[in-house]
Amino acid sequence: MRFLTILLASLILLPLPRSGSHPDSATSATAVMQTLKAYSDAYWARVAGRDDSLPPHVNGHDELGTRWLHDMRAALRGVPFLAIRQEFKTPGFKNLPADRPGVNLIVAVPGTRAPDQSVIVGTHYDGEPFSKGSAYDDTSGVAITLQVARLMAPIWHAQGLPARTVEFVLFDAEEQGMIGSEAYVQRMQHGALLPRPALMIDEEQNGVGYPVRPFGLLSNEPLPAFAWTSDPLPPVLGKIHPIPAAQRRLLHSQLVDARGAVFRRLHAAVSPLRFQGGAAPAFTSADESLVRIGRVNICCSDNAPFEVAGYPNVTFAGDAGYYDRNPPPWAYPFDQPQDTFTTLACDTGGSPTPSPALAAALDLPVQLTLELLHDNAPPSGRVGPPAVLSPQVAVAGTALHLAVSTGGTVHYDFGDGTRGTNPVHTYRRPGHYKLRVIDGRRSAVQTIVVRKQALGPDVPLGVIGPPPIRPWHPDALSGVAGCP
């Protein structure tokens, strides 16, 4: 997250009754923490637009994307999904320009009742030039998206695919000014074949939040976690399309209900928690207010372009106070070389060995996201029409690549007098065309908007630089072996 400077009202899908069974929360917490450690230990720097077969400890950007896609395919085995890349120009940092495109990675599970609407579970996977794993910002979000997919896959197997399309997205170049999420929204608004978001869920910087107590000391009060639903957005981001008040109220109500359900579940599963100095109950009803829902004075992350465009969104996050004028000693050093899994463990537990509280803090956004998916994209038990996606804007004279959610032979009527089975097609003239996709007895029709020329890069904050490196040596960790 940049420290700086800086459901659709027309169709309400009623959630189906829940099965009553939930994934074991202790197992889920352990899994997401193990993924976070593996990813952050292996893939450093991750500067968007700069990786060209570099070793993963020099720039692990591309390797992390490949690893996440591999793990997502394993998680969703047996579930129909589309995996696509969305390339765009990104500026790089000041004095470190990009020489390759940025790449958003999209894994979409097609909806059955409303495939043209989506719930996005997103995060960013890029980092700062001097990063040594970016554990908190934002490998935590990468691990959380994977864990949500792992937990939803058996539900989709047993109860049917989601009513709305669910997209798991790794946005690129967030640290360069939210370029990847801005490119996603810009292309969607200019005709790319992407569903319109009913809800965008941003997994941004998790782990240093409830039920963690700074340095794992029982004598310290639990930290808050945040479910923020809007930002004070800077004018440089452009014209803001307000989200209707009814949609904001609906999302707020869903978040309050989700918080209550998750606290009850986690209280039964992991409470009490052990800290240095004793144990304490966690996830009690009295603590629900420590997951703060609504506006906070934090700006900005990949939720911002969706907010500007008028799409409902929520960001799950923890502490972001490191760059405040007088931050507390435990304020976590994100966007710094110290942002490693070991630092995360030391800051939240007082030891390089991760604590149960850290595991629970990482699992909290996973569980909240599951609740929102049940509310906004419930399993439908139905088979829908073939889903067709293309993340790029169609341009006359340039090949358009289509991705279709089927394993069989698909026939295309491209609407310009040509037909065939090849998902790559070139429209010769600008205009609007009706694309018909036929998969056996199922078919889908979509409008293709073909433009005269490609979109240029959109850099709303200009070309920015990485933050200055600052020391982080809190007294509470002085002399603790293995801690900074």
Residue 10 has pLDDT above 60, yes or no: no
In the predicted model, is pLDDT for residue 23 greater than 70? no
Do 25-383+457-477 and 394-451 agree at the fold level? no
Residue 226 tokens read as 């945040």
Residue 374 clears pLDDT 70, i.e. is over it: yes
Domain ranges of the chain: 25-383+457-477, 394-451
* Mean pLDDT to the nearest integer, 57-75: 97
For residue range 347-372, what is the model confidence (pLDDT) as tens digits?
999 999 999 999 999 999 999 999 99
CATH class of 25-383+457-477: alpha beta
**Is 80 exposed, middle or buried, given 0-12, 13-18 or 19+ CB atoms closer than 10 A?**
middle
Tell the residue number behind the tokens 């072996």, with chain if given.
481
Mean pLDDT of the chain, nearest integer: 91
CA atoms of 473 and 347, how far apart (whole Å): 10
pLDDT band for position 420 (50/70/90)?
A: very high
- 421-434 tens-digit pLDDT: 999 999 999 999 99
Residue 211, preceding peptide bond in cis (omega within 30° of 0): yes
Asked whether the predicted pLDDT for residue 234 surpasses 90, the reply is no
Q: Which CATH class is domain 394-451?
A: mainly beta
Alpha helix (H) ranges present in 271-421?
Answer: 304-309, 341-349, 356-376
Q: Read off the pLDDT band of 145 (50, 70, 90).
A: very high
Higher pLDDT pick, 2 / 454 = 454
Q: Please provide residue 227's backbone torsions phi and psi, each rounded to the nearest 5 degrees.
A: -125, 85
- Look at residue 404 and tell me whether its pLDDT is greater than 80: yes
For the segment 243-256, what is each residue's pLDDT rounded down to a tens digit?
898 999 999 999 99
Average pLDDT for residues 116-127, to the nearest whole number?
97
pLDDT at 36: 98
What pLDDT shows up at residue 231?
Answer: 63
Distance CA 400, CA 304 (A): 28
The model's pTM is: 0.94
Q: Which of 133, 35, 30 is nearest to 359 (CA)?
A: 30
What's the Rg (C-alpha) of the chain? 22
- Given CA atoms 7, 8, 9, 10 in this order, what sign does their dihedral have? negative
Peptide bond into 138 cis (omega under 30): yes
